[in-house]
Amino acid sequence: MMFLLPLFLLYLEINGQCFDKKQLKTMNETDDEPIILKNPGYPEKHRESIDCDWIIKPPPNHQLTLSIDNLQLHISRSSSYMHVNEILSVNGSEVEIPIAR
């Protein structure tokens, strides 16, 4: 699975986890290349039971555009799926709002 994020944001923070490996990238206005997020071993088929979470935080009062250039979900005994949620802070609690599934 690979995601292409066009960069027009200031200080975009990306925090990802796959197999307990973490990646943190903070960007600033001088970065001019898109960010490509991909699962370990992409484009090869990932092992079953992989669970990857990517949390992308734009700065306050900025908009995030997510462009999915290439999405390959493999059919296996365990299901493959992707969720896109917006996380809002409401009265100090985080609330997830599904955008796409």
pTM across the whole model = 0.53
Based on its alpha-carbon atoms, the radius of gyration of the chain, rounded to whole angstroms, reads 15
Q: Could you give the percent of the chain with pLDDT greater than 90?
A: 0
- Could you tell me where the beta strands, DSSP code E, fall in the chain? 2-5, 13-18, 21-26, 35-38, 52-57, 67-70, 84-90, 93-100
Contact 55, 16 (CB under 8 A): yes
Domain boundaries, the chain: 2-100
**Mean pLDDT within 61-90:** 71
Q: What is the pLDDT of residue 9?
A: 40
Q: What is the pLDDT of residue 7?
A: 43
